[in-house]
Chains A and B, each alone.
Chain A
Amino acid sequence: MTKRETLRAAALLRLLSLVWLAAVLGAYLWSFRPIVKTILPAWPL
C-alpha cells in the first residue's frame, strides 16, 4: 500500500470506530429508558 492509501484506510477505520462508539453508547443509554421512566414518569421517550 502507498502512504496515501494507508492514511486513507486509517481515516476510514477512525470514522468506523467513531460510528461504532456512538452506536454502542446510544444503545446503552437507550437501555436505561425503563429506569429513567421510573424516576421521571413524564419522560417523553
Chain B
Amino acid sequence: MSALVSVAAVVALALASIGLGGLALRGLTGRSLVLPPLDRWCLSFVAGYGILGWLLFFPGVAGHFFAPVFWASTAAGIGAFVLNRAWLPIEPRRPSASVLLAILIAVVALVGFVDLLEGIAPPADADTLSYQFGQPKDFLREGRIFFYERAIDGTSAKLVQMTYAAALAMGGELALTLWTMTTGWATSVLLFAALRRIVPELWSLAFTAAFLSAPAVLYGGGNGQVEIRCAAFALAAAMLIVEQRRSSAPGPIVAAGLFAGFFVGTKFFGLIFAGSACLVVLLRRGGLPRAAAFGCAAAAAGFQWYAWNFVHTGDPIFPALFGALGLPDTSYWTREFNLYSSKTYAAGELHLERSFLNYVLYPALASFNLVEKLEGGRTGLGVLAFVLLPLALAGATRREARRDEILVPLAIAFLFYSLWFFSGTTQRVRHLLPVYPLLLAALCPLAVEGARRIGATRGLAAGVGAVLAIQTCGQVVFGVNYAHYAFGSETREQFLARNVSGAEGVDWINRNLPPGATVATGTRELAYLFEIRSYVLHPYTQMQVDIRPDAGDDRRFAGQLRAQGITHLYATEGMLQRGSPRLEATPFHRMIDRLVDSGCIAVARRFESRHSPSRTLMQLGGGFQTVGYVLATVEFDRCPGNR
C-alpha cells in the first residue's frame, strides 16, 4: 500500500473522529457549556476515536471486519465533521512571541520529530507486536472478532484497538503507526488545553512539553500501548466533571461518563478509574442522580469486552474472577491452571508487598528507579511531579487553590492510585500513566501559584527546564534507532531483524511456508509479524499447549499440538534443539528431547538473531546476545499416539 493511501487513511480517521466526537459532544453539552475552540477540537477527537472503537465492535462480532466497513464508517464520520464544522471554530487567539516561547516550541518540535520518526518505522515494541497490533491483525485475517482462548492479553478490553484494526485495514502498517502517533499526541494537546484554563499559556506549554517527553509517554505514545490513550479519556472525563457545575443539564456528566467508559472499554484498569471518578461525582453537590447518569454512560460505553468475556467464559474480567466465581473447568482453563497462572503472574508483576509503607514510598521507589522491576527508568513518569511538589504545597495553602479544577483531578488520581496499588495487579509504573495528566492538572497550577507567592518563579522555571533538558536528551537517544531506519537504506525486514529477536526466521517463514501452515512460537512478540496463522505458546496464559516446566507427557503434548492444528514450531534453540545449553533441564525439556529423538519434532532450519534488553541502547553500543532460533516441523505420524 502506498504511503499516500496510508496518510489519507490517517487523515480520514482523524476527521471522522473529530466529526463523530464533535457531534456527540455538541448534542450532550452544546446548549449547556461554552467550551473554548481548542478544547472542542481535542475533546471531539478523543471522544471520536472512542466512539469509532465502540462502533466497530459490532460489525466485528457480526463477521464484517473488512476495509470497506471501516471506510464506510469513516466516511460517515467525515460527514458528521462537515455537518458539525460550525461548532468547531478556529482558535482566534495568537500567543505573543517571546524567546521562551520559541525555546518551548523548539523542544515540542524536536519531540514531535522523533515521534514522527517512530511513526514511520515498523512497530518494534514487544507488547504492541504481541497483542496490541497482533490481535487486530488476526481479527482482520479472519474477517471477524473471535474470542481468544488466552488469559490476560487475549481477554483484555480492546476498544481502542478496534481503531488500530481500521487503520491497518485502510492504510496498512504505516497508517497504523501514524495513527498511534496521532492518538498519542492528542493526550498532550488535551493536557495543554486543560492547563491553560488556569495556568498562563507559557507555563502550560512548558508543563505539556515535560509530559510529552516523559519516559512513559515516549515509550508508549508511538506504539500500540493503550495507557497514553486512556490518559486522554481520563483527562477528558475529569474536565467534564469539573464543567458540570456550570450546568444543571445532564449532558456534561453523561459525556464525562462516556469518556470514563471508553477507558473501561480499553483497559481493565478503567474499572478502577470509573469507580474513582463516580465516587468523586457522588460526593459533590447533586451527587446521586449525577453519579447514576455518569455510571450508566460509563457502562454503556465500556460494557462490550466484558460482555464478550462473560458470554464466552462466565467471567467478565477473565481470568481474574474465575476462582471466585467457582467456574467449571473448560478445555482452555482449569482451576488447577488458574492457580498456577495467578501465582506465576504475581511472581513476575508484584515486586512490592502491599503495605501502607510501600504505598507511601511507591512514587519514589518507581520514579528514582530504586526497584528496577517497577520499570521507572525506561518507562517511568519522570520527576516533574517531585520537582513541583514543594511549590505546590506552598500554593495549596491559599484558599483559592481549593477549586474544582484542582480538587477533582487530584481526588480521582489519588483514589485511582490507592485502589490500583492495593488491588494486587501489576505494579509497573507505566500503568499509572492514565492518571498522570490528572495529577499534573492539579500540581502545575498549585506550583505556579506557590512559586509566585514565595518569589521562586525562576526556581520553578529552572526545575522544569532541567526536567525538559534531561527528558529531551532521552528523546534524542530514543530517536537514534528510528533515525537509522528513516535516513538509512534499511528495509522493513532489516529494521525488524535489528529490533525484534527472532524476526529473521519469521521473514523466511512468511516467504516459504504454505498459507495453510500454522506456526507455534514461544516468542510472543513475533505474533504480529507472521503472515500465516500463528499460535503463541505461553507458559501461564494458555494451557491448550502446555509448556509449563513440569509438563512432560509426550503423548499429551503431541495431542495438544494436533488439536490446535500446529504444523510447525518456531522457538529459541534453548527450547527446541536437542543438546543445546539450557539453564535447567526440566521435564518439559526432557520431553522435547524425546520428541526430537523420535522424529516427532524435526528441526528444519536454524536462524541467528540478536537479543538485547534495550533496543535503544543497542544502537549506542549497548550489549546484545546472539540467539539461535529453530524452525521445526511437527511430523505427527512419528509422534506418540500415532505409532
Contact = CB atoms under 8 A, between A and B. Distances in A.
Tell me whether A and B are bound partners.
yes
Interface of A: 10, 13-14, 16-18, 20-21, 24-25, 27-32, 34-35, 38-39
B390 A14 contact: no
- The residue among A28, A29, A35 with the most chain B CB atoms within 10 A of its own CB is A28
Query: Majority SS of interface residues in chain B?
Result: helix
A16 B393 CA distance: 12
Contacts of A17: 390-391, 394, 454, 456, 459
B622 interface: yes
6 contacts: A16-B390, A21-B463, A24-B383, A28-B386, A34-B372, A38-B614
Contacts of A18: 456, 459
B383 A28 contact: yes
Interface residues of B, number: 31
A31 B470 contact: no
Nearest to A21: B463
- The residue among B394, B454, B462 with the most chain A CB atoms within 10 A of its own CB is B454
Contact of A20 (B368, B390, B623): B390
A38 B617 CA distance: 7
Interface in B367-381: 367-370, 372, 376-377
B326 interface: no
B620 interface: yes
Contact of B456 (A13, A34, A38, A39): A13
A17 B391 CA distance: 7
A32 B456 CA distance: 28
Query: Majority SS of interface residues in chain A?
Result: helix
A20 B614 CA distance: 31
A14 B455 CA distance: 7
A31 B614 contact: no
Given A24-B463, A25-B383, A35-B614, 14 more contacts: A13-B390, A14-B455, A17-B390, A17-B391, A17-B454, A18-B456, A18-B459, A21-B462, A25-B466, A30-B368, A34-B372, A35-B617, A38-B617, A39-B620
A24 to B, nearest CB: 5
A14 B376 contact: no
B621 interface: yes
B477 to A, nearest CB: 8
A18 B466 CA distance: 12
Contact of B377 (A13, A24, A35): A35
Contacts of B387: 21, 24-25
A43 to B, nearest CB: 12
A14 B621 contact: no
B251 to A, nearest CB: 42
Contacts of A13: 390, 394, 454, 456
B614 A14 contact: no
A29 B470 contact: yes
Nearest to A29: B470
Given A17-B454, A27-B368, A32 B377 contact: yes
Interface in B444-471: 453-456, 459, 462-463, 466-467, 470
A38 B390 contact: no
Contacts of B623: 38
Contacts of A10: 453-455
- The residue among A14, A20, A21, A30 with the most chain B CB atoms within 10 A of its own CB is A21
- The residue among B376, B453, B622 with the most chain A CB atoms within 10 A of its own CB is B622
B459 A14 contact: yes
Q: Which 3 A-B pairs have the closest CB atoms?
A: A31-B369, A10-B454, A38-B622
A17 B622 CA distance: 37
Nearest to A37: B622
A25 B369 CA distance: 13
A18 B463 CA distance: 9
Contacts of B383: 24-25, 28
Contact of A31 (B377, B456, B459, B463): B377
Contact of A39 (B368, B394, B622): B622
A14 B454 contact: yes
Contacts of B377: 31-32, 34-35
A16 B372 CA distance: 29
Interface in B49-96: none
B205 to A, nearest CB: 20
Contacts of B462: 21
Nearest to B386: A24
A14 B367 CA distance: 24
Contacts of A38: 614, 617, 621-623
A10 B457 CA distance: 12
A30 B470 CA distance: 12
A38 B535 CA distance: 35
